[in-house]
Structure 1
Amino acid sequence: MLSKFQRIRHFHLENKHKIYLPRFVEKQAIKTYPMSRTIKFIWPYMFPQEKSIRKITWATFGLLFASKFLNAYVPFILKEAVNSISLTNPALFYTGSIFVSYALSRALVVAIQELRVALFSRVMINAMKDVSTKVFSHLHALDYTFHQESTRTTLYSVNRSMRGIESYLRFTSLYVLPTILEFLLASGVLFYSCGWPYLVTLGGTVSVYYVFTTKYSDIRNKYISQQRIKSKALDFVTSESMINFETVKYFSNDELEKRRYNYFLQQKLDGNYLITSSLSKLNFGQQLIFNVGLGANLLLALSQVQAGTMTIGDIFMIQTFFMSLQIPLNFLGSIYRELTESQIELNELYELLDIKSKVVESPNAKDYEYKGGRIQIEDVEYSAGKKIFDRINLEIMPGTTNAFIGESGTGKTSLFRLIYRLFDPDQGRIMIDGQDLKDLKLESLRQSVAIVPQTPTLFNDTVFYNVMYGNPAASKEQVIEACKLANIHQRICEFPEGYESLVGELGSKLSGGERQRLALARCLLKNAKFYLLDEFTSAMDSKNEQEILASMKTLFKNKTVIYNTHRLSSIMFVDKIFVISGGKICETGTHDSLLKIPNSKYSQLWNKFISNKN
């Protein structure tokens, strides 16, 4: 089944409809980590530094031992009760009190177990919170390159890993350890009370039960793994169809999408049937093995009762010990599968946590000290699949307005990201006010630089929240003022709920120009020392662009500003233009001086711009 999702293929439905399967490529096989890594990873969360949680963990272990030892004593109470009934003239009060003790003991065992589960849920919640925070912080600490290359499946992997940790904690603490302890106690009691034949029968039954369950569960795990792929394929097709709703309508392909959806839905349903039927076979095999072992032990006990070496009560005691193991053993297949899946999901988490950021803060990093705003780029080389910069050099003077110009793909946006230190150059260095970026604290550097990206993204929240995000400490008046400077305040007031209007996922409810102006307002609210404006007016109409550019001249006075744009008319006023070509700065100067150079690269770009504009 996997191969169908690894390349584009097609099949015929009803001999006349062709359906193309999506190119659904599964993530490459992940590294397998030993069980010791899981124990080492989870242990600190079960016994954290927080004393209250650590006390709860020890209390749950104490309750575990108390419940299992009490549970091991319950069969002896039942034995005594049955033997008292077997007497010729049983004392009703004595016999009744034994039965009451038996019932109360069973109830007490359940009460202790439930108290243990309730207490341990505190430990699990605390562990999930700490792990989730650790993973969330780690993802944000990774460099821009990782987030460029990672897909939306990364978040799915993280969510699956969180479920894996929860399952691992729950099943090991609430099922595996109690079952092992119960088996050891039952074995010891049977050996001490009844002799080695019963120990051999119990041990043999559990061993065969375990081997059958694990082997058959491995087969079922393959079905489940295939089902995960089928489910992912169905989710993928459904998501893509909804995201491309407009395209589906443009080409009247509703029926095609329905057929594709039904195909993958049927694949998933067929997989569900296979998993369900295999579970029935597993359950039958488990019950057969368990009851054969139980029957063998009871027959052995019956022979000893007839020989006079055992009582009727002993038979009930042996049966009770066996039955106490039945419920946890019935879950053995599910536990084994859950732990196997949890380990696989945790492998994904370990692989993610082992990724190191390529942008690392120096141990001796210092806060950035503002000294006017000079930027120096010295012999910088940078590659991202291909060579982008080849020993590039430039200097931007303090408090000046500048522009990076060049054909698409020459690295203008990459230069912004290097200055912001989203990634580091392969060679060379970048300095701000004489301070190497690698010697500065990342937070201090980035607090001093504001950037409007080429394609701004917005949170699926209110207009106010998205603008305020540039400076969470800003007042409502400051947010409104920033929006006025970005020439978007009046438009916001026309929204149904004004600043409390939702912008939609990634700002989908807004036009491209509105998103850019909100991003600009957010940038202005930051009140930084440097401003990097990457195609920040590309989706605006000429009127809005000219009004914003006019206000920028005053607003950015004495600030170091760099524009990156293909609209050359918007940067005619800047102090210096840097023309990038072939991985180097090929020309520098003002708009007028560059046009005077015969056949200059800038004049070629200008003529092309004017031609396209006309």
Structure 2
Amino acid sequence: MAVLGSYCESNGSVAHVWVHGGLSPCFYFTLVPVVLLTLSLFCGTVHCVCYRRFGTAMEPKFVPHSKLYALQLCISALLLLQFVAGVVWQAAGPGVLPGYALAYGCLSAAGWGCAAALLWTERRRVLVQDRTRGHSTVLLLFWALAFAAENLAFVSWSSSLWWWSLETRRQQVQFGLWLLRYIGTALLFILGLKAPGLPRRPYMLLINEDERDLEHGQPLLGQNRESQSTWQNFGKKVRLLVPYMWPKGSVRLQLLVLLCIGMLGAERAINVFVPIYYRNIVNELTDGSSWKTLAATVCIYVLLKFLQGGGAGASGFVSNMRSFLWIRVQQYTNRLVQVRLFAHLHSLSLRWHLGRRTGEVLRSIDRGTSSINSLLSYIVFSIFPTIADIVIAIIYFSSSFNAWFGLIVFVCMFLYLTLTIVITEWRTKYRRDMNTQDNNAKSKAVDSLLNFETVKYYNAEEYEVNRFNHAILKYQESEWKVNASLALLNQTQNLIIGSGLLAGSLLCAYFVTENKFQVGDYVLFGTYIIQLYTPLNWFGTYYRMIQNSFIDMENMFQLFTEEQEVKDEVNAGNLLFKLGRVEFENVYFSYVEGKEILKDISFTVMPGQTVALVGPSGSGKSTIIRLLFRFYDVQGGCIRIDGQDISKVKQVSLRAHIGVVPQDTVLFNDNIRNNIRYGRVSASDEEVEEAARAADIHQRLLSFPEGYETQVGERGLKLSGGEKQRVAIARTILKAPQIILLDEATSALDTKTERNIQASLAKVCTNRTTIVVAHRLSTIISADQILVLHEGQIAERGRHDELIAKGGLYCDMWQKQQQGSDSDSASDTETKDRSTEKLQPREEKTK
């Protein structure tokens, strides 16, 4: 137990500022806490009173959720506890406890407690009229003074009254506490400039924007997922990666993962032993060891270098073997992600797919898949090993050399990583602008070339060239900023590396001259440091790539969060098809809340009957088709097939009994045979050709140069409209459904082609329950029942003759179409297919 002595040691005085080649500890440890406590207690108290009296409590939705703010609080609490622990440790030890040490600990703890209270208050209360953002001047000044005070310790480097010599246990503990304070105050000052726990903009501005957004139905809360930090919820994002790194159900792949991790650990050990054996070689050469001993050491060193590789594990045997073994795990990850997401997208509703760009979704899949592999590679095999190497190096140098070498490595690594991250973040805006300008230049070029004819019409070649040249110049300006900032980053990294190497080399050389170290130790230090810095050269690239990969991964996992709109019930059974009776009973439906598309729709289609749906655009005809196929669920009423509610049966079994021929038939970019076979993928070639005969397209296909093997092109663009419709009909015939849905299947065709297609459709619909959506009334004259829809309701129903006799809405539509039939026929005879990509029969090719 220490005895409390005089305030200053050895007859010293607070008035003595400089003693024994440095600052007087009594003066320093008295002045610093007094200044900090005065600032935090008096100025901080005034500030808190202003917040309490004139401020207002911030709404929780405006307070950003930040882990960096939590780090600020933790550091403040840690520093406060450090002061208390320092006093307790000195009081519990032997010797005399000077009064200034007790005052320093108590006053400093009080000052940091006031600062922590102010930090807590600033996050919860705000002066509404304050137009600035960030921490108060009091808090920033407190952190700046605290950091500056810790830097004053360097002034007393040569003083025997300070702990720089690290000779005794007491000095080592005091040095450790100072190092903790130095790092803590530096971090608090840096984080204080960023103010992560406070709103980014003035509070009054946020309130005004929130009120305006609420008026438009767009609350501010949750508005900016893009503005959030990429590193927010880092732990959660990493946990999302774990299932894709650990292959469930495959013991072989799991063993490969464990083996790769084991090899990763072996690389870390090899990186330590390579410079050690290099040192041993130098020492043995210097000491004149025997050839046998030297040869054994050299062989071990060369073996380690072979395992490590020339680039500190970048191209060695162990690294290459790990990369080779990881290929199967990477393929597993690719397959698992893509298949899961592809299956999930097919489970989503038609509403979701109609509201999304297919290209955007595919880009999210591609980028998301590659981002997961990149993140696993960068984090597991680059970032973590690099950090592990740094920690191992600090521990090794501190234990095998002395604490100064560990400190040099720590400071250099800390500065290197910190400045790399800061400069990389700063460069991000330049890279973003460069990408924007690059996209702009490419879009201008593509737009100009796609409109080649228009450019020629107006003699605008020079204008287009100048426009493209201007876009290139803007891109190059942004590119220069990117490359210049990269050069700055490289020079900064090089300066830190050089400074650390210089400091360590000089210190090591000094110990060699003092006969405390051997020459090999100097070689070891230089080799180890250079080896340590090699992977760090890529740290900025890794950081940026991880940042981009997190963004791509978030976009992909956002797709996984999309919920199915149409789901099978838990106990849903298969549709038990009997005759094909279709019933709509009091059906209501709307795509957007408040705007009903269908209102109280009721009708019945008896087995084998044909019912036609007609009416103006937007009346709900196609919606009825989609509801029956269960692309959507009804919001009122019920749809039954053979007395079974279709919402109670499995979607797969329902759709197996229904065939659809849409207005716009889209074919897969495959041959014609496989496009027809899509109706029933297990069908034989003979069944495919029989379906083509029934659709009256078999002879036409045989006239093509490659027959059924003809490639139809993207979306079937190499076929004419009539040919595509016949392929769709053949596909439906092959499926052999009991219920047929024709959604304006011939409305996009000319009159002659339509008449030919109608004959094929009639064959398909024979003895099948059929619902037809028709635009041209002449195609549904023979329907068993015609439903006339108007504004989502059934306005009229009956056969063609009955509706004509009524003289209602259907009669008006019929008369208008009859009046326009002559002009339509004339225009049909003049319609030609301008596309040169349409396939021609074999006979025409030989002419």
TM-score normalized with structure 1 length? 0.90
Tell me by how many angstroms 1:246 deviates.
7.4
Look up the match of 2:318.
112
Report what 1:601 is aligned to.
809
Aligned residues: 586
Give 2:682's aligned residue: 473
Among 688, 692, 708, which residue is 1:499 paired with? 708
1:40 maps to which of 227, 239, 242: 239
Task: Return the offset for 1:52.
Answer: 1.0
Query: Which AA in structure 1 matches 2:302?
Result: A
Report whether the alignment pairs 1:79 with 2:257.
no
Q: The residue matched to 2:820 in structure 1 has which SS?
A: helix
Greater radius of gyration (CA): 2
Residue type at the aligned position of 2:427: R
CA deviations on 1:140-188 (whole Å, 9 max, x unpaired) are: 1111011101012222222221221121011112201211221122122
TM superposition shift of 1:259: 5.6
Give the counterpart of 1:441 among 630, 650, 655: 650
- The one of 138, 142, 148 aligned to 2:348: 142
**1:345 Cα shift?**
1.0
Q: Could you tell me whether the CA contact under 8 Å between 1:485 and 1:548 is conserved in 2? A: no
1:417 is matched by which residue type in structure 2?
R
Aligned in 2, Cα 1:248/1:452: closer, same or farther, shift over 3 Å?
A: farther
More deviation, 165-174/100-109 = 100-109
Kept in 1, the 8 Å contact 2:661–2:743? The answer is yes
SS of the residue corresponding to residue 376 of structure 1 reads strand
Q: Which moved more, 1:555-564 or 1:128-137?
A: 555-564
How many Å separate the matches in 1 of 2:719 and 2:225? 40
* Residue of structure 2 aligned with 1:101, choices 300, 306, 312: 300
- Counterpart residue number, 1:52: 252
What corresponds to 2:791 in structure 1?
582
Counterpart amino acid of residue 107 in structure 1: F
Q: Report the equivalent of 1:511.
A: 720
Distance 1:179 1:375, change over 3 A: same
1:202 to 1:243, Cα distance in 2 relative to 1, 3 A: same
1:347-496 equivalence runs, <5 A: 347-385=554-592, 386-496=595-705
Q: Is the 8 A contact 2:368 2:556 kept in 1?
A: yes
* Counterpart AA for 1:503: V
Equivalent of residue 123 in structure 1, options 329, 347, 359: 329
Partner of 2:774: 565
Question: Aligned residue for 1:172?
Answer: 379
Shift of 1:78: 1.1
Counting only pairs closer than 5 Å after superposition, residues 165-244 of structure 1 correspond to structure 2 as 165-234=372-441, 236=443
Determine the structure 1 residue equivalent to 2:180: none
2:758 and 2:779 in contact (8 A); partners too: yes
Q: Please state how far the C-alpha of 1:207 moved relative to its aligned partner.
A: 0.3
Tell me: CA distance 1:608–1:427, structure 2 relative to 1, closer, same or farther (3 Å). same
Per-residue Cα deviation, 1:191-226 (whole angstroms, up to 9, x for no partner): 111011011100000000011000011122222233
Amino acid at match of 1:606: W
TM-score (norm: length of structure 2) = 0.66
CA shift, 1:513, in A, is 2.0
**Amino acid paired to 1:350:** F
| Structure 1, unpaired ranges of 5+ | 1-26
SS at match of 1:387: coil
Conservation of the 8 A alpha-carbon contact between 1:406 and 1:412: yes
- Which deviates more, 111-120 or 296-305? 111-120
Distance 1:162 1:603, change over 3 A: same
The 1:267–1:471 alpha-carbon spacing in structure 2 relative to 1, beyond 3 Å, is: farther
Q: Could you say if the C-alpha distance between residues 62 and 464 of structure 1 is closer, same or farther in structure 2, counting changes exceeding 3 Å?
A: same
Provide closer, same or farther for how the CA distance between residues 57 and 153 of structure 1 changes in structure 2, counting only shifts above 3 A: same
Match of 1:333 in 2: 540
Identity %: 33
Q: Distance in 2 between matches of 1:217 and 1:91?
A: 52
Distance in 2 (alpha carbons) for counterparts of 1:244 and 1:162: 35
Aligned to 1:61: 261
d(CA) in 2 for partners of 1:113, 1:367? 54
Asked whether the 8 Å contact 1:68–1:182 carries over to 2, the reply is yes
Q: In structure 2, do the counterparts of structure 1 residues 267 and 28 end up closer, same or farther at CA, with 3 Å as the change threshold? A: farther
How big is the shift at 1:427? 2.4
The aligned amino acid for 2:410 is G
Residue aligned with 1:484, SS: helix
Aligned-partner Cα distance in 2 for 1:530–1:231: 52
Q: Distance in 2 between matches of 1:143 and 1:243?
A: 34
Question: Which amino acid in the other structure matches residue 98 of structure 1?
Answer: T
CA gap of 1:112–1:311, structure 2 versus 1, over 3 A, is same
Deviation, structure 1 residue 335: 0.7
Code of the aligned partner of 2:246? F
Deviations 1:324-371 (A, max 9, x none): 211111111011101111111111112111111211121111111102
Amino acid at match of 2:541: S
- Residues 266 and 142 of structure 1: is their aligned pair in 2 closer, same or farther, counting only changes over 3 Å? farther
What CA distance in whole angstroms lies between the structure 1 residues aligned with 2:668 and 2:286? 76
CA distance in 2, matches of 1:195, 1:325: 18
Q: What's the CA shift string for 1:384-415, capped at 9, x where partnerless? A: 24431122222222211111101122121121
What letter corresponds to residue 62 of structure 1 in structure 2? Answer: G
Return the letter of the residue paired with 1:571. I
1:433-453 Cα distance to aligned partner (Å, 9 max, x none): 111121111111111111112
Return the alpha-carbon distance in structure 1 between the equivalents of residues 802 and 270 of structure 2.
Answer: 93
Separation of aligned partners in 1, 2:568 and 2:246: 31
* Residue 479 of structure 2 is aligned to residue 272 of structure 1: yes
Give the partner amino acid of 2:350.
Y
Q: Quick one: distance in 2 between partners of 1:398 and 1:240?
A: 54
Please tell me whether residue 282 in structure 1 is matched to residue 489 in structure 2: yes
Gaps in structure 2 of 5+ consecutive residues = 1-222, 309-315, 823-847
